[in-house]
């Protein structure tokens, strides 16, 4: 247990190795990690509780941390050696819980560089606990921690203290065991300050976001081109053999889908064994890998809290707080990892608004590329118009949802840690842990989403819907009825749907209206499946209704403005 952003999870990873499970606490979207380790010849189960400043919870993550503490036979309390006073408040609370405990002074190297000296022996005597110094990123001190776990003990004669008495006691302890030598601010200190000041922090944030976006796209497209696409080409003969064996019929349409020009098109065939496998593994997973690598880099470097702090004022007006920028800019790479990252928001209201705005107005990389490709020939001003409308819709819809959606939107309280050099092995391990979770938890929902769409196509429901809504499209949006097919395919893959508009010979105004409508009206099936998992079916239907209503309002307004 420990405060957020103090390297607690790195200590946990050092103790548990690779066999780690990350789970949601029942009834929440708050993650905690669980692993096993052989310590001093005994098999132990180790839990990494969510970071918390106090055992008197102020948000759902802190509530989960307090619940996880109840399971503990022994507490490893990790504290930031560079900020002893703040961290000791949780330590004094833990002392009152009547559980054996050992104290870990992490970031020992940063404390030394900052001119902070801590007398560990004196701290042990005052707290009545064994104290170990570690630098978890490099593994220094972890062996001593393991060796001294047997010394973890109940502190003697603990008297419950009021909050005021705790701070008085923290002052006494700090003055007795800690000596701080003044040093002049270095380059890292000046950079840290520059990244949270609006004037300098905003351009830095834009560069970081663009760099992250580029990294997610580079990794995702690289994996698709050099790994997943060749794998699915090797799989193609087997899929064709299954198709020949099944022959025409409903079972063929369900498992293989349509054969296009004598071959399988993994995107358009819409069979469970073709599109159903290709979408989650060949299209989504590569970007997930890039997203988790980028997220781990931002986490371990210490930049995420700064980005959240910088953007907090804006997002608070939209019913969220600064960490909502993470789902936003990761959704620009792929909406699926953007939806997954919405778990950083504590309340149902915040997650509902974030996920609704994500599905409504945040175009993924593939869709953005198609918008450029389709509208670029008409002129770049039309491309700019579509993206400007999406940005405006994100802001206006956020302001409205903040007023109408019930629930709490608490202030952000973030500790801003010093910048750190990320450890490659820890980043790879963290990325692999998250990918394993995605394969186990998210892939089944994506597969079920593909199954649902495939069944609707097979029974003719999609064709029926296209025939019903064709007159409305022509009257309200001045778009040919054939565009309905593109809208239906857009539920499955929006960049493909945008491409289907090209043969219709639309004018520039019609193309802008159709492209904007495609971007707004509904998330792709992969994102929709995750919305069901994250929000539940009832809230997902509410979110979808908001998206559809907004798309029709904006589409109608643009029709009258551009076409007349």
**pLDDT at residue 280 in the model:** 73
- Which residue has 């759902």 as its token pair? 60
Cα separation, 215 vs 299, whole angstroms: 15
Same domain? For 15 and 58 the reply is: yes
**Cα first-last separation, the chain:** 62
Please indicate, yes or no, if residue 1 is contained in any of the structural domains: no
Please indicate, yes or no, if residue 554 is contained in any of the structural domains: yes
Same domain? For 100 and 216 the reply is: no
Same domain? For 160 and 206 the reply is: no
**pLDDT at residue 176 in the model:** 93
Closest CA to 134 of 123, 120, 122: 120
Cα separation, 376 vs 495, whole angstroms: 15
The 8-class DSSP code of residue 151 comes to: G
Closest CA to 478 of 563, 412, 369, 393: 563
- Gyration radius of the chain's alpha carbons: 27
Backbone angles phi, psi at 45, to 5 degrees: -105, 125
Give the containing element (helix H, strand E) for 45. strand 42-48
Whether residue 355 contacts residue 534, with contact meaning beta carbons closer than 8 Å, is answered with yes
Per the DSSP assignment, residues forming a β-bridge with 36 are 45
Please indicate, yes or no, if residue 374 is contained in any of the structural domains: yes
Residues with Cβ within 8 Å of residue 75, at least 6 apart in sequence: 1, 69, 94, 97, 99, 100, 101, 102, 152
Same domain? For 25 and 57 the reply is: yes
What is the pLDDT tens value at each position of the chain, 564 positions in all? 999 878 888 888 888 875 555 444 334 445 678 888 887 778 888 999 888 888 887 767 788 888 889 889 999 999 999 889 999 999 999 999 889 999 999 989 888 888 899 999 999 999 999 999 998 877 889 889 998 998 998 877 788 889 999 999 999 999 999 998 876 666 766 777 788 788 888 888 888 878 877 887 788 888 888 998 899 899 989 988 888 888 888 788 778 877 877 888 776 666 778 877 887 788 778 877 887 788 788 877 878 778 878 888 888 889 888 888 888 877 776 777 788 778 778 788 999 999 999 988 988 766 776 677 677 778 878 888 988 999 999 999 999 999 999 887 766 666 666 777 787 877 887 788 777 766 776 667 667 766 776 677 677 776 787 778 788 888 888 887 767 767 776 666 665 566 567 667 778 888 888 888 888 887 777 788 788 888 888 999 999 899 989 999 998 899 888 887
Same domain? For 299 and 349 the reply is: yes
Distances (CA, A) of 413 to 23, 409, 420, 548: 24, 12, 21, 35
Please indicate, yes or no, if residue 153 is contained in any of the structural domains: yes
Beta strand extents in 81-207 (DSSP E only): 101-106, 116-118, 131-133, 178-180
**pLDDT at residue 185 in the model:** 64
Q: Around 541, how many Cα atoms within 13 Å sit in the side-chain half-sphere?
A: 2
**pLDDT at residue 132 in the model:** 95
**pLDDT at residue 87 in the model:** 93
Please indicate, yes or no, if residue 413 is contained in any of the structural domains: no
Per the DSSP assignment, residues forming a β-bridge with 196 are none
Q: Look at residues 129, 157, 183 and tell me which one is the last residue of a structural domain.
A: 183
Domains of the chain: total: 2
* Cα angle, residue 232 at apex, residues 229 and 233 outer, rounded to 5°: 85
Cα separation, 179 vs 172, whole angstroms: 13
Same domain? For 118 and 239 the reply is: no
**pLDDT at residue 500 in the model:** 62
Q: What is the per-residue DSSP string for 187-246?
A: HHHHHHHHTTSHHHHHHHHHHHHHHHHHHHHHHHHHHIIIIIHHHHHHHHHHHHHHHHHH
Give the containing element (helix H, strand E) for 260. strand 259-260
Residues with Cβ within 8 Å of residue 462, at least 6 apart in sequence: 456, 488
Please indicate, yes or no, if residue 3 is contained in any of the structural domains: no
Same domain? For 140 and 243 the reply is: no
Please indicate, yes or no, if residue 28 is contained in any of the structural domains: yes
Same domain? For 209 and 146 the reply is: no
Take residue 396 and report the two structure tokens written for it.
Answer: 């206006």
The 8-class DSSP code of residue 264 comes to: E
Sign of torsion, CA 228 229 230 231?
A: positive
Whether residue 365 contacts residue 332, with contact meaning beta carbons closer than 8 Å, is answered with yes
Alpha helix positions (H), 149-186: 163-177
- Which CATH number is 25's domain given? 3.40.50.300
Backbone angles phi, psi at 205, to 5 degrees: -60, -40
Same domain? For 445 and 512 the reply is: yes
Q: Look at residues 183, 210, 239 and tell me which one is the last residue of a structural domain.
A: 183
Distance from chain centroid for Cα 85: 31
Q: Which domain holds residue 554?
A: 198-254+261-407+423-562
Same domain? For 438 and 520 the reply is: yes
Backbone angles phi, psi at 264, to 5 degrees: -95, 125
Cα separation, 73 vs 99, whole angstroms: 7
**pLDDT at residue 90 in the model:** 94
Cα separation, 81 vs 79, whole angstroms: 6
Q: Look at residues 183, 216, 237 and tell me which one is the last residue of a structural domain.
A: 183
- Which residue has 């054996």 as its token pair? 100
Cα separation, 363 vs 394, whole angstroms: 11
**pLDDT at residue 91 in the model:** 94
**pLDDT at residue 414 in the model:** 62
**pLDDT at residue 268 in the model:** 64
Cα separation, 139 vs 514, whole angstroms: 55
Q: Can you tell me whether residue 184 is helix, strand or coil?
A: coil
Pairing type for strands 178-180 and 20-24 reads: unpaired
**pLDDT at residue 26 in the model:** 39
Same domain? For 151 and 213 the reply is: no
| Cα torsion through 104, 110, 115, 121, rounded to 10 | 20
Please indicate, yes or no, if residue 193 is contained in any of the structural domains: no
- Which residue has 């005994």 as its token pair? 42
Cα separation, 518 vs 490, whole angstroms: 7
Same domain? For 54 and 168 the reply is: yes
């Amino acid at each position: 247990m420990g405060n957020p952003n103090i390297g607690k999870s790195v200590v946990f990873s050092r103790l548990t190795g690779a066999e780690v499970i990350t789970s949601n606490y029942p009834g929440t979207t708050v993650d905690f990690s669980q692993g096993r380790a052989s310590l001093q010849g005994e098999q132990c189960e180790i839990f990494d509780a969510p970071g918390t400043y106090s055992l008197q919870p102020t948000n759902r993550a802190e509530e989960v941390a307090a619940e996880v503490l109840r399971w503990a036979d022994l507490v490893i309390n990790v504290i930031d050696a560079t900020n002893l006073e703040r961290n000791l408040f949780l330590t004094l609370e833990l002392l009152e819980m009547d559980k054996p405990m050992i104290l870990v002074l992490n970031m020992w190297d940063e404390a030394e560089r900052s001119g902070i000296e801590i007398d560990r022996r004196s701290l042990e005597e005052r707290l009545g606990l064994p104290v170990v110094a570690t630098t978890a990123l490099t593994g220094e001190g972890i062996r001593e921690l393991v060796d001294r776990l047997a010394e973890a003990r109940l502190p003697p004669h603990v008297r419950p203290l009021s909050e005021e008495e705790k701070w008085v006691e923290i002052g006494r302890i700090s003055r007795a065991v800690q000596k701080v030598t003044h040093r002049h601010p270095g380059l890292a200190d000046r950079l840290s300050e520059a990244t949270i000041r609006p004037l300098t922090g905003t351009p830095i944030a834009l560069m970081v976001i663009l760099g992250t976006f580029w990294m997610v796209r580079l990794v995702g497209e690289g994996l698709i081109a050099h790994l997943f696409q060749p794998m699915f080409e090797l799989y193609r003969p087997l899929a064709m053999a299954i198709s020949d064996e099944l022959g025409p019929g409903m079972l063929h349409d369900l498992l293989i889908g349509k054969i296009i020009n004598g071959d399988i098109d993994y995107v358009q065939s819409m069979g469970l064994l073709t599109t159903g496998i290709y979408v989650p593994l060949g299209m989504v997973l590569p970007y997930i890998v890039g997203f988790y690598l980028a997220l781990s880099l931002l986490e371990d470097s210490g930049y995420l809290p700064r980005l959240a702090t910088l953007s907090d004022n804006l997002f608070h007006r939209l019913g969220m707080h600064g960490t909502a920028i993470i789902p936003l800019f990761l959704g620009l790479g792929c909406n699926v990892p953007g939806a997954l990252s919405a778990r950083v928001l504590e309340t149902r209201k915040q997650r509902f608004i974030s996920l609704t705005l994500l599905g409504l107005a945040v175009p993924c990389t593939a869709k953005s590329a198609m918008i450029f490709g389709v509208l670029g020939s008409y002129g770049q001003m039309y491309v700019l118009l579509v993206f400007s409308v999406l940005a405006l819709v994100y802001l206006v819809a956020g302001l409205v949802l903040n007023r109408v959606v019930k629930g709490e939107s608490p202030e952000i309280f973030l500790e801003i840690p010093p910048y750190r050099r990320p450890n490659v092995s820890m980043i790879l391990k963290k990325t692999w842990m998250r990918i394993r979770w995605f394969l186990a938890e998210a892939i089944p929902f994506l597969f079920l989403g593909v199954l649902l769409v495939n069944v609707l196509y097979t029974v003719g429901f999609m064709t029926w819907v296209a025939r019903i809504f064709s007159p409305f499209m022509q009257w309200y949006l001045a778009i040919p009825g054939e565009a309905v097919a593109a809208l239906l395919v857009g539920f499955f893959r929006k960049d493909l749907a945008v491409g289907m508009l090209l043969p219709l010979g639309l004018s520039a105004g019609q193309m802008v209206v159709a492209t904007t409508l495609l971007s707004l009206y509904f998330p792709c099936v992969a994102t929709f499946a995750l919305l069901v998992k994250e929000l539940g079916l009832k809230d997902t239907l509410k979110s979808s209704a908001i998206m559809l209503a907004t798309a029709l309002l904006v589409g109608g307004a643009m029709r009258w403005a551009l076409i007349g």
